[in-house]
Each structure stands twice: as C-alpha cells, then as structure tokens.
Amino acid sequence: MTIFRLVISSYWYSFRLTWNTSKLSFFILTCLKISSGVIPTVLIFISQELINQVMSLIRGKSTLLNVLFLFLLQVIIILTAYFFQQRSQIEIKKIENAVNLYLNEKVFEKIKHLPFNDFENPEFQNNFNKINMNQNRIIKLSTDGLDFLAMMLSIFSIFGFLLSISWGFISFLVLGIIPVFNIQMKFGRKRYQLTGFLTPYNRRESYIANLLEQHQSQKEIRLFGLENYLVKKWENYYKTTTNKNLDLLKRQSKLLLAAQCISLLTYAASGILALFLISHGRILIGSLVAVLQAIQQIQGTLNGLSNLVSGFYESSLIINDFRSFLKMNEVKNLDSGLEIKKIESIQIKQLSFSYPSFTKTTIKNIDLHIVPGKKIAIIGENGSGKTTLIKCIVGLYETKGAITINGIPLETLNLSSYQNRIAVLFQDFNQYELTALENIGFGDIREINNINKIRVAANLTEMDAYIMGLPKQYDTQLGRYFDGGYQLSGGQWQKIALARCLFRQCDVIFLDEPTAALDPKSEIETLEMLIQKSKSKALVYITHRLGAAQLADEILLMKDGSIIERGSHQELLNLKGEYSKMYELQSKWYITKDNREVMI
C-alpha cells in the first residue's frame, strides 16, 4: 500500500470512528476549526489597516474614531480566537472520552475472543503493548484532520493576501517549506520504526519497575538484597530507550535547523521585497508590517502543517497495526456452535500438543475418559505436562479433534456453554484486590449477589467464620493494594479461590495443586470434603503428594508429556514402577489410618 493510500484509508477509519461515537462534538469542533483558520488573515488585514489609519491620522487624513474602531475590532477578534481555542479543547476532550471508551471496549471484546496461547507469545505482547501505548493516535488523526483543514484555510487566505501584493512572496515561501516537509516525513517513519524497536525494552523496563514497586515482590527483593541489581537492570533498559529517542531527536534537530535557516532566508528575502515595493510607492507602511506578519504566520503554519502531515503518516501506521489486531484470528466457537446443558463425558484420544514456535511436543498421545462421579489425580515431576493437559481439556488451547464432549468434538461446540459447566482452579490463581463477596462470587457471575450461596461455598473451605469476623464481613476489601484492605495468608487466599471454584454450578471440577499452600492435614481434609461434596461430579486434580493422590479412583503418572502409568493407588504399587519408587521416597511422611496411607 502506498503512503497516500495508507494515510487516506487510515484517516477515513479514524473519521468514521470519531463521527459515529461523537457526532455533535465533532460537528462543533469542525465549525470552530474552520472559523479559526481564517482569523489569522483577518487579523493581518486589520493590523495593516490599523497602521495605515494611524499614519493617516498623523497626517490629518483620518479620525481617531476610525483608529479606535479598528483597534477594538482587533481586540474582539483576538478574544474570539481565544474562546474558539478553549472551546475546541473541551470538544476534543469530549471526543477523546467517547472514542477511548469505544476503543477500549473493542479491545476488551477482541481479547475475549483471541486464542489463549496468543497471550503467551512475546511478539503478540510487544505489538499489543505498542497499540496500547499509542491508542491516542487513532483519535488524534481525525482531530488533526480538522487542524489540517484550518491550516490550509489559513495558508490559502494568507496566500491570497500576499498574492494581492506580489506573487514573489509566494515563491519564496514555497521554496522555504519544501526542505522542512521532506525532513518531517522522513522522521515520521523513523519514529514509528523506533517505537517498534523499543517496545520490548519498554516492556522489560515496566516489568522491573513493577517488581520494585509492588508489595507482593518486595519480600524476596529485600531479603535477597536484589534492589541494586534490579535498579541497575531497570536503568540499563531506561537508558537504552531514552538514548535512542534522544539520538533520533538530535539527528532530526540538526536537519530541521538547516531547514529553518532556509526559512529565515525566505523571510529576509520577503522583507527586502516589501521594502523595495514601499520605496517604489506600490504599498504603504502598514502593508510592510502586515507582510512581515503574514510571512511569520505562514511560515509557522507551514512548519506546523509539515509536522502534521508527518504525524498523519505516523498515526496511519499505528492505525494499521490496530486494524490488524482487530483482524487477528479468533476462537471460532466461543459463542457459536452446539450448546450443551450438561457434561456427560469428556473423551480424550491421542491428544498431543506443542506450543507455537516450540519444536518440542509438550504432551504426547494422551488418552483419558472423564465421566460424572469419577475422581482422577494427575501426578508427575514439574514440567511433565500436567497443567498443559488441563488447559487443553478446558478449552484454552486448540486440540484439533482430540477431545470430544458427550461424543461431540470440542471445536464444534459452543465453547462458552462448555466452560460454563466446568470449574477450574489453577495453581497461579488470581487474588482479586476486591471484596470477599466478589472474590468468591466471581465463580458464577450470574449469582454474585446470592450471599447465602456464597456463604455456603465459603463454609466448605472454612472461610465463612473468618470473613464474618471482618469489619464489613463479605463487603470487606481483601489485599493491601487499596485503602482499608485486609491481607490474607497464602493458605487463606487458596481457600478463597477454592470457594470460588465450589461456588460454580458445574459438572466437572479441575484443580491444579489446589491445596499446595495448605498443611498436609488440611490438604487431606479439604480433598475429602471435595470428594464428599462432589459425588455426582467429575473431579480432576493435580498434586505432588501421594497421600492426596490415593484418594482418587484413578491416578495418572505423567513424565515428559506422556502418561507412563495409570491405575488405582494399589494397582500402581503392584506395578513396582515409577509410582512405587515415588511412594517409597515419600513413605516416611505417611501413617496408616482406616486401612489407607495418610500424610503426617
């Protein structure tokens, strides 16, 4: 796409967006900008007449009333210009508010439909960050278009004024602006390219700054003495971004200085031409002042115009990125496809999965059948593929026909209806710095105001009594990020997250090390409670503790992405394989209770 077509296409997109979200403000702003565009020429003309009238008054050929009239008219127009400027800022702010609201809603809606693994892609994060940082460019292009219109009106009206005196002024001005225009266009693209180059550095800089500022990370940073190291690392990224921007600015400034010298020569040449015309009696002294004002005005406007056109190109590139983001491939069946009311079975056959841009297969040839009432434990070393398997089953990753729900391929189902029938708790669960009610109620947003149901879920994880003891009970703010918040221990946060999971009306519960922050006794008690309260539901949980695993009907032992052993606790012990070795290593942690092994 040529530069011209790119700018036109991007401007049309920005204009339609602005017009559709804020018609009245955009119309008012257009009127204000058009009016502002002709004011400079009017002021120049009045200044010329005012000086000529003053000279005539001195010679006794005019009256004081004429001079005062022109002077008051000049003051009124200046005040009007100031009013237009201030009102324009208000209308621009209204437009920004409306368009920003729309854009953010579009971004959030798009995020909802993007494949989950896009967010694990650094290239996607870089592009997304660049769009977020420059979102104002999308709005600015349409308002800059009005500035462009106002400047063109101003330029043509001043050109007309100068042309009425002498065409020589026009030729000087055109010769002076060409170098400035070329420089601005050249550096507009360079600024865009630099933004793309520096985005990864900006992300790293922001990440380290957050580490240094957030209370969650301060414990380790202080105890391990990491402050100086992290500050130095942040400083390196900061200097890289600032130095690169400064280098570009220096190069641009040098060329612009040379271009401004040319503009100054055109100003001098115009002044000499005006003096020549006065000496030959072709113009009056007021015209000299008006011409010099017009030259200064038009040079400033032309410089601003060249900068604006350069900004058009830069903004067009950002808008092109934004439009590409909105066209990214989406999860096709998120809100379409066959809806399911209840999960009767989940069948996994020969499931393999690799992360994009990774050559290694993360999970390999997995077979698994999940039915209501069945309890499945997944164990294995870190990195064996346990969490990835759960993410595939719950529909976060595309699995290409390997998973069927009630005999129907997952990719043909309405994914939202499927995910509404499952509850998931990952090891890195969210700690929402919101109220206790919201932290649990998020498990089923449709029932978030059902306090009785929320209390039942909290009671199952023994958190109800604690929450009721807080100053505002379930309306108490949790966490320390905001004023009045109450911080919970790691185990309490995990119980809150588990209550959120239990609050959900579902057929299958997936838990990724749901009790890792609990002591062994609490872990067994919690899992026994879960099994007791979910007899009609399927339960799939990841654990490293074999005392918890033996509560399951079936245990899957994963290694290097594959299931290498499966069966009940006793069946796996009888195999004398990997599970048996793991059990022997952990056996000192167990005692016999009710004919089964329980962790001490």
Domain extents in the chain: 3-326, 344-421+508-521+537-600, 430-505
What is the CA angle 461-464-510, rounded to 5? 30
Query: Distance between CA atoms of 278 and 14, rounded to whole angstroms?
Result: 48
Instruction: Compute φ and ψ for 592, nearest 5 degrees.
Output: -90, 130
Contact in structure between 429 and 494 (CB atoms under 8 Å): yes
Query: What is the per-residue DSSP string for 266-330?
Result: HHHHHHHHHHHHHHTTSS-HHHHHHHHHHHHHHHHHHHHHHHHHHHHHHHHHHHHHHHHHHTS--
How many other CB atoms are found less than 10 A from the CB of residue 336? 13
Amino acid symbol at 9: S
Distance of CA 163 to the CA centre of its chain: 50
Fold adopted by 344-421+508-521+537-600:
Rossmann fold (3.40.50)
Contact in structure between 309 and 330 (CB atoms under 8 Å): no
How many other CB atoms are found less than 10 A from the CB of residue 68? 12
Query: Under CATH, which number does the domain 430-505 receive?
Result: 3.40.50.300
Residue 371, class by beta-carbon neighbours within 10 Å (0-12 exposed, 13-18 middle, 19+ buried)?
Answer: middle
What is this structure's pTM?
Answer: 0.71
Distances (CA, A) of 448 to 73, 343, 453: 64, 23, 9
Q: Do domains 344-421+508-521+537-600 and 430-505 have the same CATH topology?
A: yes
**Bridge partners, 597 (sequence order):** 592
Q: What is the pLDDT of residue 600?
A: 47
pLDDT along the chain (600 residues), means of 10: 80 90 92 89 84 82 85 91 91 90 87 82 79 79 87 82 71 68 66 72 79 68 74 85 81 72 73 71 68 74 74 82 86 81 93 82 91 92 90 88 90 89 88 90 90 93 92 90 83 89 90 70 76 85 84 92 92 91 75 50
Distances (CA, A) of 206 to 192, 199, 569: 20, 10, 48
Contact in structure between 179 and 259 (CB atoms under 8 Å): yes
Fold adopted by 3-326:
ABC transporter transmembrane region fold (1.20.1560)
Query: What is the per-residue DSSP string for 517-532?
Result: TS-HHHHHHHHHHHHH
**Bridge partners, 368 (sequence order):** 348
